[in-house]
Amino acid sequence: MLDGTEGVYVDGSIISNAGVSIARSVASNVDVILVDAKSGRMDYPNALSVAFGAYATMQRDIVETAMRDIYFQTLEERSRARTIEDLPASRIRYVRPGKLLAPDVLAFGEQSVLDGMFALGEQAAQSGFSPYDWQTFHF
């Protein structure tokens, strides 16, 4: 909910590389659709693809660290709660899509590509979200 308007909000790393911390500050429930697929072999045929692979690895680490941070923030707030009314209602869940959502960088400005990514994310969300805890992504 933002300004009293309930709905689905998406941040494609425009405001923050990991919008989950922003989402948690304005929403009681945070559902995250991760960009990287559940599994799959990555092929790096040239140096440019290696660079993009390294960037994707850094981005994944940023998001996973941010999710761990908001999880521990929620636990800490719960430990300070004195009454049931003080308990934060935060729920943190995630889903990994069946295939990679990230487009070719050069195609990122094309609306049809963005629409396709959003559709894949919605499809992944329909399969159900998993509850997040600090052991979800290993250090």
Cα 29 to Cα 40: distance, rounded to the nearest angstrom: 29
Which residues are bridge partners to 130 per DSSP? Answer: 94
Using a pLDDT cut of 70, give the percent of the chain over it.
71
Cα 32 to Cα 66: distance, rounded to the nearest angstrom: 11
Q: Find how far residue 55's CA is from the centre of its chain.
A: 16
For 101-119, write each residue's pLDDT tens digit. 666 666 667 788 778 888 8
81-106 burial string, b = 16+ CB within 10 Å, else e?
Answer: eeeeeeeeebebebbbbeeebeeeee
Average pLDDT, the chain: 75
Give the pLDDT means over successive 10-residue stretches in the chain (139 positions). Answer: 60 64 74 67 77 79 84 82 73 80 65 81 86 73
